[in-house]
Amino acid sequence: MEPTKSIEELQNFNFKIKKIFDEAKDFLPISGTDYIELYVGNAKQSAHYYKTAFGFQTEAYAGMETGENKIASYVLKQGKIRLVLTTSLEKDSLINNHINTHGDGVKIIALHVEDATEAFNQTIKRGAKPYLKPTKISDNNGSIIKSGIYTYGETVHMFIERKNYKGIFLPGYEKWESHYNPESVGLKHIDHIVGNVDWDEMNIWCKFYQEVMGFAQIISFDDNDISTEFTALMSKVMSNGNGRIKFPINEPADGIKKSQIEEYLDFYNGPGVQHLALATDDIAKTVEEMKNRGVEFLYVPETYYDDLLERVGKIDEDLNTLKKHGILIDRDEEGYLLQIFTKPVLDRPTMFFEIIQRKGAQSFGKGNFKALFEAIEREQENRGTL
């Protein structure tokens, strides 16, 4: 599907990437994702799902037993990935409003920084909308400073400074002891977090990441890259200076039928996080384990594999195993990657997960887009939303 590129084109590509990173102004040094917090209708049951189905480990808890009367919040961990599931215990609350509008979904993408006050000041100065002024919170284990700004929709970037804190998660949370601890499925870290934004807003949000957060655009796809017979979308990938944070931003594009991004925007009632891509070192094993625990993945037709090796060249993995699980493969200038997507993990067709294993490739599976979108359209057809 991908046209073969000349060596000259490849060198140009590598040069361009390096130049882009050099230009990324690092006034906002981020050492990684600190946690992802979802607002959910029932955090106890969500936590059970992510432990059982995704292999997350029991980590910390805040709720009535720890002196917290307004929320219940469960912290789960796998590799470096920290997932926080929070629900409201009150009748009227901002959390309930959020859930009422969006359904369960990602509210906070927390970023680990050295200085949360500086991160707030630098981004506000450049036009960010404040969510939380720098706030110090303490308990017996020390103190943290957190501050927050809005990004697309009602989604928030929280800056977390924890160099003076020794506790399990954040002040107010206690170690969560559970007798139910399913094994990890081998997920290691967050590879990228994708946001869906409104019609004609992709460039606005890319500009936000460039100007307000000092990110650089590393890749762009237009509707010629990402379209099927019926639907289309456009996407740009934004990265911070050290490349640890990658945020692809999608917007819908015109097609004969309703695109998956439009469907998301309809059901989420606005922009928000579309998928979290989680990395593994052994995708076949991880996916097999997740399937056994009830996770549903998008299905690609077996014909996808017919000309696969001609398209991606030699790979280390056994093709039949990949075919059995419906794992997709794509190659770029630097290597290849293996990826697969879950069906939405909620009743609304909004958020889903990607499981990804990189073998050199730093791109996002462009060669798979067509096969993938056709798979998503089959699901939309079933939901009557295509």
In this complex, which beta carbon is closest to Fe ion, that of residue 120 or of residue 304? 304
d(CA 300, CA 314): 21
Nearer to Fe ion, 194 or 216 (CB): 194
The structure tokens listed for 23 are: 């230009």
Nearby residues of 336 by Cβ (< 8 Å), 6 or more positions away: 312, 313, 315, 329, 330, 359, 360, 361
d(CA 171, CA 90): 21
Q: Which is nearer to Fe ion, 165 or 304 (CB)?
A: 304
User: Which residue in 97, 101, 71 sits closest to 86, CA to CA?
Assistant: 71
Q: CB of residue 193 vs Fe ion: minimum separation in angstroms?
A: 9
Strand pairing of 232-239 and 32-39?
A: unpaired
Q: Going along the chain, which residue ranges are E strands?
A: 32-39, 57-62, 71-78, 81-88, 105-112, 130-139, 142-150, 156-161, 174-175, 187-196, 216-221, 232-239, 246-253, 272-280, 328-332, 335-341, 352-359
Q: Which is nearer to Fe ion, 159 or 341 (CB)?
A: 341
Q: Residue 148 or 195: which CB sits closer to Fe ion?
A: 195
In angstroms, give the least distance from the CB of 48 to Fe ion. 26
Tokens representing 122 are: 């630098």
* Of 165 and 369, CB closest to Fe ion: 369
Q: Which residues from 121-160 bind Fe ion, rule CB under 5 A?
A: none
Radius of gyration of the chain from its Cα atoms, rounded to whole angstroms: 21
Length of the chain: 386
- Which of 226, 346 has the CB closer to Fe ion? 226
> Cβ 277 to Fe ion, closest distance in Å?
4
User: 200 to 229, contacts with Fe ion by CB under 5 A?
Assistant: none
Q: Which residues ranging from 253 to 282 are in contact with Fe ion (CB under 5 A)?
A: 277
Least distance between Fe ion and beta carbon 158 (Å) = 22
CB of 280 to Fe ion, least distance (A): 14
Residues 313-372 that bind Fe ion (CB under 5 A): 354
CB 368 → Fe ion: shortest distance, Å?
10
Shortest Å, Cβ 212 to Fe ion: 23
Site for Fe ion in 163-202 (CB under 5 A): none
3-state per-residue secondary structure call for 267-279: HHCCCEEEEEEEE
> Which residues of this protein are in contact with Fe ion, per CB under 5 A?
277, 354
